[in-house]
Amino acid sequence: MATTLAKAADGADTTEYAARIEHVSKSFAGPAGPQLVLDDITLDVAPGEFVTLLGASGCGKSTLLNLVAGLDKPSAGSITTNGRPALMFQEHALFPWLTAGKNIELALRLRGVPKAERRERTEGLLELVRLKGAYGKRVHELSGGMRQRVALARALAQDSQILLMDEPFAALDAITRDVLHDELTRIWRETGLSVLFVTHNVREAVRLAQRVVLLSSRPGRIAREWTVDIPQPRRIEDAPVAELSIEITEELRGEIRRHGQH
């Protein structure tokens, strides 16, 4: 893919994966002894690839994302990423004591970008998420969609190889979410980032991804994978998106049903 090659030409990226998850298990201490949340997950995300992790509640998808982000350690197995991943949450997690622009600048500052360059880069990132002129805006002055776009710009400011997204659009209204899907697809294609996107929304998963990975619940295991060949830009209403969504939903419901029978 052209965008990926651009990144590889920098010479920094010589690995064939942006994130490699090998035989990862995770258990937490529960009331009845240790509880297995993730069981033997193996998954590679290629450079420039867009992968969605799909699953019902309790499949440990957010746990897996935390492990990849390095916020927690796996009980078994290993996770390798090419540099520190950037992470976006369902809540925007912007710091309310800083303006939109300063939030982005903080990310640049923390990774050592010299002061003289920060302002210009921040303006560039704001332009990328189409928020030119929002530099001095306070977080509470922005709408939900704008906040998530600033959060996206801040994540991009980390200049990571891989962007981890934990249901970032789940709290938005349908119209805004739809627009942000288009936006994310555009930015992903422009930047050549790898994206690992967690959601429980099947259509969203199909709308965005090149590859959809279905996790079973309690413990989370990889149940099935689909490659999505529908050309971008897609729309969530497109017939092929709907068709594949129905197939995946059936499978997901099957997984959920298994928990009702003992």
Shortest Cβ 73–another protein spacing (Å)? 13
Considering all CA atoms of the chain, what is the largest pairwise distance in Å, rounded to the nearest integer? Answer: 63
Select from 11-19, 55-63, 103-111, 214-222 the region that touches another protein (CB under 8 A). 103-111
What are the phi and psi torsion angles at 10 (to 5°)? Answer: -65, -20
Rg (CA), the chain: 19
* Contacts of residue 86, Cβ cutoff 8 Å, sequence gap at least 6: 155, 156, 158, 160, 162, 163, 164
Shortest Cβ 258–another protein spacing (Å)? 32
Cβ distance to another protein smaller for residue 142 or 215: 142
- Near another protein in 150-179, by CB under 8 A: 154, 158, 175-176, 179
Q: Which of 47, 60, 85, 101 binds another protein (CB under 8 A)?
A: 85
Site size toward another protein (CB under 8 A) is 46
Q: Strand, helix or coil at 103?
A: helix
Work out whether 191 is an interface residue with another protein (CB under 8 A): no
Distances 187 to 29, 50, 180, 181, 230 between C-alpha atoms, Å:
40, 12, 10, 10, 18
Extract the runs of DSSP E, i.e. beta strands, from the chain.
Answer: 19-30, 33-45, 50-54, 76-81, 86-88, 162-166, 194-199, 211-216, 221-227
Work out whether 102 is an interface residue with another protein (CB under 8 A): no
Select from 8-16, 73-81, 144-152, 250-258 the region that touches another protein (CB under 8 A). 144-152
Work out whether 1 is an interface residue with another protein (CB under 8 A): yes
- Near another protein in 65-84, by CB under 8 A: 69-71, 84
Hey, what amino acid is at 252? L
Q: Give the separation between CA 68 and CA 209, rounded to whole angstroms.
A: 18
Interface with another protein (CB under 8 A): 1-2, 50, 69-71, 84-87, 89, 91, 93, 95-98, 106-107, 110-111, 130-131, 138-146, 154, 158, 175-176, 179, 182-183, 186, 210, 229-233
